[in-house]
Chain A
């Protein structure tokens, strides 16, 4: 029983992980990881600040391809 539950829980965590990654929700987490290593001791941007900065970046570096 426990084994089954364990497997189910792992599968669920896998699904959540995938959705967060593919939708871009996990981007801020990665930024935090990145930041902690490269600028130890400094304060990272808040999530909202990060999202705004990311938006601005996308505006300046537009993705010039589209689906068909």
Chain B
């Protein structure tokens, strides 16, 4: 008794004042949840309406509706990009307040009387309570990566409307629902992982499928994101130098924290950040130096080799030396840059250049991704709207640290809304550039040649050919005229000038400190150009464009390198765990066994390194081939998470509300299975692509490098094709297993906690508010809680 009460007192986050007067109104008093000791441990969720509140929500709804109608109906006129921000924020607010709350009441039925894993296990390590606001930040840093920055850029070729609809509606009805419900089922099961939960709820077979899927999916995601980073770094000495220097910076930070100032994380991060800024500035001098620039000018294949060696080293070196300090930097950049960007958009107030729908929305052969709007746009924009990867994070550290069940909505749903907002910002970056510039940057050399047709000239510059190609493409701008290539800058005298055509492309490259911006596929260059435009508007002006451009590239590359490090590690553990299932290979289950480590790291690196190598060698740039396979696998994993959630919901006897996860599930299955099917059969399929390459190779017309590239593209297409078949079969089976479990449950009629792996009720001794800001009632409860704890401790002392 003594122990529990006094230990709870010591760990109460904010002890508050002890003066508690019983000042609850009768309605409030009814909502306070007390445990058997009389401690108030929570507040029953309830929507309390007052006039000001009702008016506020009405205003939000009206502003949101006006914003949506402006985006949907505006034709042939300029609109401000700020409307995208307004529309997103209003929609998120309404979804969070009403839909997420509805799910909380009907499905999750969170109960603050029940103890969360942090309280049940409370081992002082991973199972340790984290303040909800802190956990929100940590969970967001855990889910967010470069994914949402890439998809919307590539999807912008079809116009902004389908993208913005999918990013916002997708997150509200699918992505955030998935994240929150996976967090919920995991928090109800001691923070178990996806694979374990699938085994518990759907049998060994289901669990195995999910585990294998996670490994393959991780490797694909890493290869894809690494390819994006490499596309931005290739032939750019500035980017290669500044990103390469993050390794010595991380080492320095690691040593500083280990030997000079142990445990001083903030100080170390600030030191690293200052060095990072200096490093980006220095990159500009390197790029200008005729001696040093060639040293740092690397081709894509060279960068692949460097990246593979690096990631292997990162896995082999102790964590504190390289991985941990770089995680600090990337977390700081994740949260800090997002804020800078939003302010930048509000100040720069850029106008949208791209129409709601371009001509490419009605074809299946756009340059950035091929395939029809349905399903491929929904595959291309994966992470910002719906991401299966988040299921792994939501069943990782976060559920082990949640203090109260009522906080699950804010942490799970709320973090995903911020992730979606990142995707909206990436979309704004792409659609505020002139379309000619966008296509010149995002088309591979081969695509430019094909689009330019007869205007293509081998002697002309890449810029001239790119402009010729965009002039040949039937794509209109927002005013209904043929798209143009423009770049706003200043001339030698500092007067503002709008450059056009070829000049716009060369001037843009000059301003950004790059050799050329033509054919920089993958989205990172486009995003960085947009971001540099927003940031220079209030931080540094025109002269700082090159700095901000490379800051943005660094921002994206840091995310990607973090994913590559973590991904290698994650894949390695998962491979180890899978091998450990085989009797003779049990030893692989031990994460400290060195030979096992080396072998599993090699396998993991070989998996993604091989995919990456083939992507780079692909003459069409690789992004085009890799986007669908990445999107499909990610969205299929999301389908698996939703199947698992549905099974849990039905088993709890809440089948009436199963439509909440089933609607996104049906949509997701329709999208992924159609896309996957088209990638296996028909003109868009990987096997058709492979057959084309085979014919080219067999014709004997190719030689030298072209032949090698065609061979690489051939194996790439075959591999992607085989992976597509593998995904379809695996997820088809998983889906069937899910349906069988649901059907069995419904037929037998046996539902409830005892039929699932959900942990039985344990009384909570903790109190903490539920939302980002504590309500007045929660503040009162906090005071009563502190006073009661104090009283209980004193009584116990007196008794002793």
**Residues of chain A whose beta carbon lies under 8 Å from any beta carbon of chain B:** 18-25, 28, 30-31, 33-34, 36-38, 47-48, 51, 54-55, 57-68
Contacts and interface: CB of A to CB of B under 8 A. Distances in A.
Contacts of A59: 319, 591-592
B126 interface: yes
B7 A38 contact: yes
Contacts of B141: 67
Given A18-B134, A47-B262, A65 B392 contact: yes
A42 B265 CA distance: 27
A34 B328 contact: no
B266 A23 contact: yes
B143 A68 contact: yes
A54 B566 CA distance: 18
Contact of A25 (B265, B573, B574): B265
A66 B10 contact: no
A27 to B, nearest CB: 8
Interface stretch (B34-42, B46-54, B383-391): B383-391
B138 interface: yes
Nearest to B194: A65
B570 interface: yes
A67 B393 contact: yes
Interface in B320-358: 320, 328, 331
Say what secondary structure dominates the interface of chain B. Answer: helix
Contacts of A54: 125
B634 A68 contact: yes
Contacts of A60: 591-592
B592 A68 contact: no
A24 B327 CA distance: 12
B135 to A, nearest CB: 9
B588 to A, nearest CB: 14
A31 B130 CA distance: 13
B562 interface: yes
Interface in B62-97: none
Contacts of B592: 59-60
B685 interface: no
A29 B632 CA distance: 45
Given A23-B269, A38-B7, A64 B392 contact: yes
Interface string B584-619: 000000011000000000000000000000000000
Contacts of B131: 21
Nearest to B267: A25
Contacts of B562: 66-67
Contact of B263 (A30, A47, A67): A47
6 contacts: A23-B266, A25-B265, A31-B124, A33-B11, A57-B125, A66-B393
Nearest to B122: A34
Interface of B: 3, 6-7, 10-11, 124-126, 128, 130-131, 133-134, 137-138, 141-147, 193, 218, 221, 225, 262-266, 269, 319-320, 328, 331, 383, 387, 389-390, 392-393, 395-397, 559, 562-563, 566-567, 569-570, 573-574, 591-592, 634
A37 B238 CA distance: 54
A64 B574 contact: yes
A28 B269 CA distance: 18
Say what secondary structure dominates the interface of chain A. Answer: helix
B262 A51 contact: yes
Contacts of B567: 66
Contacts of A67: 141-145, 389, 393, 559, 562-563, 566
Contacts of A21: 130-131, 134
Contacts of B147: 68
Contact of B7 (A20, A37, A47): A37
B397 A63 contact: yes
B319 A58 contact: yes
A19 B266 contact: yes
B142 A34 contact: no
B11 A55 contact: no
Given A21-B134, A22-B138, A62 B569 contact: yes
Given A25-B264, A34-B10, A68 B569 contact: no
A24 B392 contact: no
B557 to A, nearest CB: 14
A35 to B, nearest CB: 9
A20 B266 contact: yes
A23 B10 contact: no
Contacts of A30: 11, 128
B102 to A, nearest CB: 28
Contact of A34 (B124, B395, B573): B124
A48 to B, nearest CB: 5
Given A37-B6, A68-B145, A61 B125 contact: yes
Q: Among B3, B124, B389, which residue has the most Cβ atoms of chain A within 10 A?
A: B124
Contact of B328 (A23, A28, A38, A65): A23
A62 B126 CA distance: 10
B631 to A, nearest CB: 11
Contacts of B134: 18, 21-22
B570 A64 contact: yes
Contacts of B573: 62, 64
Q: Among A51, A63, A64, which residue has the most Cβ atoms of chain B within 10 A?
A: A64
A68 B320 contact: no
B396 A64 contact: yes
A31 to B, nearest CB: 7
A59 B573 CA distance: 11
A18 B133 contact: yes
Given A55-B320, A65-B389, A67-B144, 8 more contacts: A23-B331, A33-B11, A64-B573, A66-B145, A66-B392, A66-B566, A67-B562, A68-B563
What 4 pairs between A and B have smallest CB-CB spacing? Answer: A67-B145, A66-B566, A68-B389, A65-B396
A58 B592 CA distance: 11
A39 to B, nearest CB: 11
Given A67-B144, A67-B145, A24 B265 contact: yes
